[in-house]
Structure 1
Amino acid sequence: MPVLGQNQYGKAQVRLVRVARATRTHRLTDLTVSVALSGTLDDAHLVGSNASVLPTDSIKNTVYVLARERGVASPESFAAELATHFVASQRPVRRAVVDVEEHLWERLGDHSFARSGRETRTARVCREGGRSEVLSGLTGLTLLNTTDSEFHGFATDPYTTLAETTDRVLATEVTARWRHRAERPEEIAETDWNAAYADARRRLLAAFAGTYSYSLQQTLYAMGSAVIEDLPGVLEIRLSLPNKHHFLVDLSPFGVENGTGDGAVYLAADRPFGLIEATVLREGAEERIPTGPAGP
């Protein structure tokens, strides 16, 4: 006999651009918001009753109205407001998960912007039982070291063809999510989430640049450790680092030597790629960041 398991519903990928014009210098906020609701909603699946189902169109409209009336101080604070609203206003809803992506723009003038080529900032807030869990993060942050990276002494089998190297280009595109201590509404409201994001990002970059790497795994752990050690408000961080391989081009058929010295030429391969993933925890913390792509 079939039994209904975990279920949720909501509105995904709500696009929102908010323009603040209170001063001569305008502020542009560009977001993609996804909301997932769960609770005592089984009847919608089991008997086709929609009595407890708030239409997803209403969820979309709520995103727009709260953005207009309350503003968007940060992705984390906006996600927390939305999650709190749905749990408080809809009795059948016991749990709300809100994911926010912020798409960055570079300022050209008081009211002119260019789409930034930087990473996408992310936030997730889960509201349940009077408490909220806040995850900050980023994706699409491309980093590269031209040296201070080796890879050798690895395991081999009959199919191994990779040569050992003591000098290689190390490149990756960082996806990271980190969980904060703040859980109570007053803690979330009092936190400067923009400053907290900037602090974590700065430490990730410094650790990548400052680590002499013998493997991408070692670099990942150094990056995660820098966040945990320096930011007491962070309990865990999960990193996903693809190895964006750069191979020396064989120019010997043309009588040209192409070593690792000055002027070396590489092929930047986009696939396949190695994928290194791990979570770095504060001692005693519980690992709770979900694996896999962001989203409800």
Structure 2
Amino acid sequence: MPTTRLGQNQYGKAECRVVKIVRDGATHHIKDLNVSVALSGEMEEVHYSGSNANVLPTDTTKNTVYAFAKEHGIASAEEFAALLARHFVSSQEQIHRARIRVEEYGWDRIGGPGHSFVRTGQETRLAQVAYDGERYEVLAGLKDLTVLNSTDSEFWGFAKDKYTTLAETHDRILATDVSARWRYGWTGSGDAPDWDATYARAKGDMLQAFAETYSLSLQQTMFRMGTRVIEQGPEIDEIRFSLPNNHHFLVDMEPFGLGNEADAPDGPVYFAADRPYGLIEATILRDGAQQLIPLDVTLL
């Protein structure tokens, strides 16, 4: 009798780097993506006996990514991912589900002839589209969006025990690298959202909430950020954040005979610590929506 059985599995090609240039006369437009394909379905035999009869080569999935960039263009990360996911499921009977993950890197135009660019440094745009032959699941998001409030942040009144050494503060720097994933309510029926416009609005809402919230905790600020995204974006049903607390500590200036209070009129000096750091994570849901993004799994 067999003592093992095959569980969940998938395969595909990871990190296909695609750069697509669209030439509008002397003015060029650039799309820069990192695309990963994962396929699942009737794959038992390749694991049990080594038969590759149902295996579409990963090299083929890579070639498909490049061919689709040429044949269909890249209107947005989400639309491109949806086209690929539908293609793999609809063209291969043995493939029941396709998941496409996309990182998009932004470029800003440098003035001049219209073909010079500088890589933007704010954040990396993310998208993940899964398709099972009937429904789409579309996740989007961003990572590495670094933000900082130089005041209007406090941290006090927290629980203490014999190991607590952190002093309470009523004026601190609040800084984090925003990593956010949100889920669209659209599953394939009706018109798809305007992916680019929704992304820009969600990012703007996060930044606005971060700037406007007088923060008593990073958790409070995070909840305000997610609430604003959902309230302003009816297309979005849930949003998950993972926010490191990028600690900034006042430097002890006493050995130099200098003061260094947070409210010093000549401005305080901080030490920016990179580790260890607090890590704050949560999902904010539209009232009545079901949480579908796992908190403990990196999705993108």
> What TM-score does the superposition give when structure 1 sets the normalisation length?
0.97
Any stretches of 5+ residues in structure 1 without a counterpart?
none
**Are residues 1:280 and 2:267 paired?**
no
- After TM superposition, what 4+ stretches of structure 1 lie above 6 angstroms from structure 2? none
Match of 2:125 in 1: 121
What is the alpha-carbon distance in structure 1 between the residues aligned to residue 224 and residue 132 of structure 2?
33
Q: CA deviation at 1:115?
A: 1.2
Match of 2:146 in 1: 142
Any stretches of 5+ residues in structure 2 without a counterpart?
none
Q: CA deviation at 1:23?
A: 2.9
From 288, 294, 299, the counterpart of 1:294: 299
Quick one: which amino acid aligns to residue 182 of structure 2? W
From 29, 51, 54, the counterpart of 1:52: 54
How many residue pairs are counted as aligned between the two chains? 293
What's the Cα RMSD here? 1.0
Match of 1:177 in 2: 181
Match of 2:196 in 1: 194
SS of equivalent to 1:59: helix
**Are residues 1:256 and 2:258 paired?**
yes
Quick one: which amino acid aligns to residue 5 of structure 2? V
Quick one: which amino acid aligns to residue 86 of structure 1? F
Quick one: which amino acid aligns to residue 124 of structure 1? Q
Quick one: which amino acid aligns to residue 181 of structure 1? G
SS of equivalent to 1:10: coil
Deviations for 1:128-161, whole angstroms, at most 9, x for unmatched residues? 1311011110000000000110001111111111
Quick one: which amino acid aligns to residue 167 of structure 1? D
Q: CA deviation at 1:228?
A: 1.1
SS of equivalent to 1:125: strand
Quick one: which amino acid aligns to residue 272 of structure 1? P
What is the alpha-carbon distance in structure 2 between the residues aligned to residue 92 and residue 185 of structure 1?
24
What is the alpha-carbon distance in structure 1 between the residues aligned to residue 97 and residue 190 of structure 2?
19
Quick one: which amino acid aligns to residue 199 of structure 2? Y
SS of equivalent to 1:54: coil
Q: Residue 87 of structure 1 contacts residue 95 of structure 1 at CA under 8 Å; is this kept in 2?
A: yes
Identity of aligned residues (%): 58
What is the alpha-carbon distance in structure 2 between the residues aligned to residue 73 and residue 46 of structure 1?
41
SS of equivalent to 2:40: strand
> What TM-score does the superposition give when structure 2 sets the normalisation length?
0.95
From 75, 80, 103, the counterpart of 2:105: 103
Deviations for 1:203-225, whole angstroms, at most 9, x for unmatched residues? 00000000011100101100000
Q: CA deviation at 1:11?
A: 0.6
Q: CA deviation at 1:278?
A: 0.3
Q: Residue 184 of structure 2 contacts residue 235 of structure 2 at CA under 8 Å; is this kept in 1?
A: yes
Q: Comparing 123-132 with 52-61, which one deviates more in the overlay?
A: 123-132
What is the alpha-carbon distance in structure 1 between the residues aligned to residue 289 and residue 248 of structure 2?
37
What is the alpha-carbon distance in structure 2 between the residues aligned to residue 154 and residue 196 of structure 1?
37
What is the alpha-carbon distance in structure 1 between the residues aligned to residue 203 and residue 44 of structure 2?
41
Deviations for 1:95-141, whole angstroms, at most 9, x for unmatched residues? 11100000111110310001111100000001013110111100000
Q: Residue 121 of structure 1 contacts residue 137 of structure 1 at CA under 8 Å; is this kept in 2?
A: yes
Q: CA deviation at 1:185?
A: 5.7
